[in-house]
Amino acid sequence: MSSLANIHFYDLHPPLANLKEEVLQGLSTSPKAISPKFFYDEYGSQLFDQITELEEYYPTRTEITILEEYADEIVAFLGKDALLIELGSGSSQKIRLLLDALKPAAYMPIDISKAHLLKSAQTLFNDYPHLDIHATCADYSDHFHLPYNPEKVPKAAFFPGSSIGNFEPSQAYAFLKRVADFLGKNSTLLIGVDMKKDPQRLNEAYNDAKGVTAAFNLNLLQRINQELDANFEMDYFKHYAFYNPQLGRIEMHLMSNIPHEVHIDGQAFYFKENETIHTESSYKYTIDEFQALAQTAGFQAVKVWTDKARLFSVHCLRVI
């Protein structure tokens, strides 16, 4: 416990120019694509929180079950008194399952959504007033430095939710390598990974009956209209998501219903009927596939936990 416990905030958020540059570039390629990291404006983050509570969306619920069931073992692997870094902390809910037993020296939630990060850090601090929180707004998918890096304090990282699945495998490799680098030798990474399974189950998880995932996907266009000078018509696009078994991934797209033109920042983009913008991939891994990937990136697979139905896996990896 530190008498200096407080909330510190570090803003490493990329400038708005990144959104513009990446959107203009992504819509100029064929097939058109926009990075899923842009889903998470304030409303997008709220919609994602709603997704995690949907009947069809099993990953969040299942990961929590695993963390609850194996909390003692997990804490033993992570070690106490570390700087606990959470990548993509969102609403900082899952970390609560480990905090009491872990007693970290400090907690560093890292998230791309500033408003969401600040709100969650404040809520957590209200419940854990002795926890020193270093809230960092950053795009962790890109190169970034740890803004708080006390010497001689061991580090442990937590990357829940299978967000690793939203990277292309080559990006996942590069990301894991960067994490291994900033954690340092013998540090631990606890990472949640969604598993390959019956495609029907996967298709349902990304095509929920209430249409929340569709709203989450379409909000990307709304965000671009609001933040860039753009005129996407929501009614001209529909949510389109399916499991691609050859590539072992869910693909999410926004499909144009009719041929039409969209203007962004003075540039025109033409959409054919049924043409799509690829907005997200969500790769699913067997345990062996993921451990092999982690090993090439500089980690040793220490332990893996799954639920009974083997829907989801939580891996403990050590930097070698």
Contact set with ligand AVI (CB under 6 A): 51, 59, 161-163, 165-166, 206, 213, 280, 282
Among candidate residues 272, 273, 214, the one with its CA nearest the CA of residue 239: 214
Q: Rank residues 92 and 282 by Cβ distance to ligand AVI and give the closer one.
A: 282
Cis-peptide into 245, omega within 30 deg: no
**Minimal distance, residue 164 CB to ligand AVI, in Å:** 8
**Token couple for 92:** 């900082």
Q: Rank residues 41 and 280 by Cβ distance to ligand AVI and give the closer one.
A: 280
**Minimal distance, residue 231 CB to ligand AVI, in Å:** 25
Q: Rank residues 132 and 194 by Cβ distance to ligand AVI and give the closer one.
A: 194
Q: Give the Å distances, CA to CA, from 171 to 38, 44, 86, 177, 247.
A: 17, 23, 19, 10, 15
Dihedral sign from CA coordinates of 213, 217, 219, 222: negative
Q: Give the Å distances, CA to CA, from 79 to 151, 231, 313.
A: 17, 51, 20
**Minimal distance, residue 305 CB to ligand AVI, in Å:** 18
Within 10 A of 178 (CB to CB), how many other CB atoms are there?
17
**Token couple for 28:** 């100029």
**Token couple for 181:** 């680098």
Q: Rank residues 136 and 162 by Cβ distance to ligand AVI and give the closer one.
A: 162
CB crowding 42-76: b at 16 or more within 10 Å, else e: ebbbbbbeebbebebbbbbebbbebbeebeeebbe
Q: Rank residues 88 and 104 by Cβ distance to ligand AVI and give the closer one.
A: 88
**Minimal distance, residue 280 CB to ligand AVI, in Å:** 6
**Minimal distance, residue 4 CB to ligand AVI, in Å:** 33
**Minimal distance, residue 47 CB to ligand AVI, in Å:** 9
Q: Rank residues 59 and 154 by Cβ distance to ligand AVI and give the closer one.
A: 59
Q: Which residue is nearest to ligand AVI (CB)?
A: 282
